[in-house]
Chains A and B, each alone.
Chain A
Amino acid sequence: MTTLTFQLPQAGLRRYGSLLSPLAWIALAFLAAVVLLALLAPVLAPFDPDYVDLNNVLAGPGAQHLLGTDALGRDLLSRLMHGGRTSLLAPAAVVLGSTALGLLLGLAAGWSGGWAGRILGRIFDLLFSFPALLVAMLAVALFGKGLVAPILAMTVAYVPYVARLTQSLAAAERARPYVQAYRVLGFRTPWVVLCRVVPNLLPVVGAQSTLNFGYVLADLAALSFIGLGVQPPTSDWGAMIEESRGALLGGHALPAFWPALAVVLVVVAVNVLGEELSERIGGGLR
């Protein structure tokens, strides 16, 4: 007689503890804190981010201004918190939009296969030849400065990253036994795809989209830095760095340092999280 042994999944919170490495937990906690600070900026920020105080310009960190003030005497901490709203919300919109669109198109291409899939694949390839930042700049040239046109343009530019991945995953998934089983049992294809296949693809696609978030955030910040994105006086990390260049050349590095640090730390945290996710998924959860 053989004895069957089962390994039961760990119960409760401990299961989540083993899901991510300590480093990834730190990254996640950091991102959560940053999002919270940005969301609650109107309540938590110690000053009005646009309040100009010319008697107190380029002040160092102190009790009143925790991170100091910029060349116009505006409180850097408040600007940083308010700036986080545009700096984080815009890439989030791009990532959500491109993930939804990419999933849809990728599924259509991967599931249908054949010539329709090949043509869609060619279109994805074509979109790859337009770098996202360039598309965003073209959008600004067409529709004017601001974030709306770049957000839409970058959504389109990031679709192929999700769609290509989804296409190959969907093609592989289609051949798996559970899909055949549903088919034999007479379930409708749209139901099988949306309710049974998509949940299987989401972790992998989610890992890719997480990594995309970092790139989009950097690109949109760069766009504001070159003066084509968020317009002054609205605070945004990229725009804050641009505004601080004069002070930087005069030897005052802090006004540029804080937003630069924010961008880098958020991108690092997002990358750590995204790479962890994709490693976990590749490493055995599936």
Chain B
Amino acid sequence: MAVPAVAFVARKLLVLAVTLFAASLAVFFSRFLVPGDPARFLLRGRSPNPESLAEITRQFGLDKPAWEQYWTWVGGILQGDWGRSLSYRQDVSEVLLGRLPTTLQLVALAAVFIMVLGLLAGIAASLNRGFADRFILIALTAAGAVPPFVAAIALVAVFSVGLGWFPSFGSGDGGLDRIWHLTLPALALGLSYIAVLARVTRSSMREQMLREHVEVATSRGLGRGSVVARHVLRNALGPILTVSGVLVAGLLVSSAVIERAFGLSGIGQLLIQSIDRLDFAVVQAIVMVVVTAFVVVNTCVDLIQPLLDPRITAGTENR
């Protein structure tokens, strides 16, 4: 029992390491796709005088072979040295750490909305037949087709310009004010994902309801609530969890658009600003952070799966 479990975890971690290594290669060597002098590429939009060219060459080790540059970069990242930002004249890690809390709070709040509203809508749709189910499904299809930036505009139009309930700009002063400021952004960010999660929950619940053990539980006279909670929902959690992982990872990317729309200074906004200001060291670092978060979250989901459904262990992953 213990050996396959260890092998399962080890295999997942190995895949994670290989994926991260390959991703770092892709992110680092993407710069080499740009034709021409790399020093001039890194200094775009600034006056390339001899001193700055020499400085950038030294900083990025451009006179060294490509592989050595790569190892220096990866080694630096692992030790917390992420390079230096040209536009902020600060260490990239410092700039990033200052912006990280806003993004994490936004993503966390959106994740709460997604889990609560998505699960509730999905369960409600699966328990109702006919008109109510149909109505929820149509609403979900419509909500699922609204891209986050359109949702942002619509929410601002209704709830801050129209009703004046929520602010449309900035992230507030922490505490409740922060949550008040982040409510609209988090809803805009989560809306289409709520629809996805609700639909997966609905179909997964429906699938379980048709199974024999649920019929047995019902025929033994267990209450409907207990049947749904303990026999249907618990078994339906597998696909729900998988989708949730993918969604939460996707939130980090969409959050860039939302942070821009609501003027929040998180790492997504920083990414857009750095692309604008041609600050490639920051862009590279943020892309790497987002990809890492994406891959790590997905690996965590894979690792939690067997706890929910012990049938999934080493070798039997592909049920």
List residues of A whose CB falls within 8 A of some B CB.
Answer: 125-126, 129-131, 133-134, 137-138, 140-143, 214, 218-219, 221-222, 225-228, 238, 241, 245, 248-249, 251, 253, 256-257, 260, 263-264, 267-268, 271-272
User: Which residue of A226, A228, A245 contacts B153 across the interface (Cβ within 8 Å)?
Assistant: A245
* B150 on interface, CB distance cutoff 8 Å: yes
**Most chain-A Cβ atoms within 10 A of its Cβ — which of B150, B156, B256, B276?**
B150
* B283 on interface, CB distance cutoff 8 Å: yes
* B77 on interface, CB distance cutoff 8 Å: no
User: What interface size band does chain B fall in?
Assistant: 35 or more
**Most chain-B Cβ atoms within 10 A of its Cβ — which of A138, A245, A267?**
A138
Could you write out 5 A-B pairs with CB less than 8 Å apart?
Answer: A126-B22, A129-B19, A129-B23, A133-B257, A267-B145
Given contacts A222-B148, A256-B153, A260-B153, contact A134 B290 (CB under 8 A): yes
Instruction: Contact check, A226 vs B256: say whether CB atoms are below 8 A apart.
Output: yes
Chain B residues within 8 Å of A263, by CB: 147, 150
In the complex, what distance in Å separates the CA atom of A143 from the CA atom of B150? 27
Instruction: Contact check, A142 vs B30: say whether CB atoms are below 8 A apart.
Output: yes
Q: How far is the CB of B65 from chain A (nearest CB, A)?
A: 21
**Most chain-B Cβ atoms within 10 A of its Cβ — which of A125, A126, A138, A141?**
A141
User: Which residue of B150, B157, B253, B276 contacts A133 across the interface (Cβ within 8 Å)?
Assistant: B253
Instruction: Contact check, A225 vs B257: say whether CB atoms are below 8 A apart.
Output: yes
Chain B residues within 8 Å of A140, by CB: 275
Given contacts A221-B147, A238-B149, contact A129 B291 (CB under 8 A): yes
Instruction: Contact check, A248 vs B156: say whether CB atoms are below 8 A apart.
Output: yes
In the complex, what distance in Å separates the CA atom of A253 from the CA atom of B156? 10
In the complex, what distance in Å separates the CA atom of A83 from the CA atom of B280? 31
Given contacts A226-B272, A251-B161, A253-B161, contact A130 B291 (CB under 8 A): yes
User: Which residue of A134, A142, A251 contacts B291 across the interface (Cβ within 8 Å)?
Assistant: A134
Chain B residues within 8 Å of A143, by CB: 34
In the complex, what distance in Å separates the CA atom of A130 from the CA atom of B20? 11
Given contacts A131-B294, A221-B149, A241-B149, contact A256 B157 (CB under 8 A): yes
* B26 on interface, CB distance cutoff 8 Å: yes
In the complex, what distance in Å separates the CA atom of A138 from the CA atom of B33? 12
User: Which residue of A130, A134, A225, A253 contacts B149 across the interface (Cβ within 8 Å)?
Assistant: A225
In the complex, which residues 198-252 of chain B have their Cβ closer than 8 Å to any Cβ of chain A?
A: 249-250
Instruction: Contact check, A264 vs B272: say whether CB atoms are below 8 A apart.
Output: no
Given contacts A134-B253, A141-B280, A260-B150, contact A249 B272 (CB under 8 A): no
Chain B residue with Cβ nearest A224: B149
Chain A residue with Cβ nearest B280: A141
Chain B residues within 8 Å of A222, by CB: 147-149, 254, 257
Instruction: Contact check, A264 vs B161: say whether CB atoms are below 8 A apart.
Output: no
Chain B residues within 8 Å of A138, by CB: 27, 30, 283, 287
Chain A residue with Cβ nearest B35: A143
Closest 7 CB pairs of A and B: A218-B147, A267-B145, A268-B145, A131-B253, A141-B283, A141-B275, A260-B150
Q: How far is the CB of B139 from chain A (nearest CB, A)?
A: 12
* B10 on interface, CB distance cutoff 8 Å: no
Chain A residues within 8 Å of B153, by CB: 241, 245, 248, 256, 260
Instruction: Contact check, B141 vs A260: say whether CB atoms are below 8 A apart.
Output: no
Chain A residues within 8 Å of B146, by CB: 264, 267
Chain B residues within 8 Å of A131, by CB: 249-250, 253, 290, 294
Chain A residues within 8 Å of B148, by CB: 222
Chain A residues within 8 Å of B22, by CB: 126
Instruction: Contact check, B161 vs A226: say whether CB atoms are below 8 A apart.
Output: no
Given contacts A137-B271, A137-B275, A260-B150, contact A129 B294 (CB under 8 A): yes
Chain B residues within 8 Å of A227, by CB: 260, 272, 276
In the complex, what distance in Å separates the CA atom of A241 from the CA atom of B260? 13
Instruction: Contact check, B147 vs A248: say whether CB atoms are below 8 A apart.
Output: no
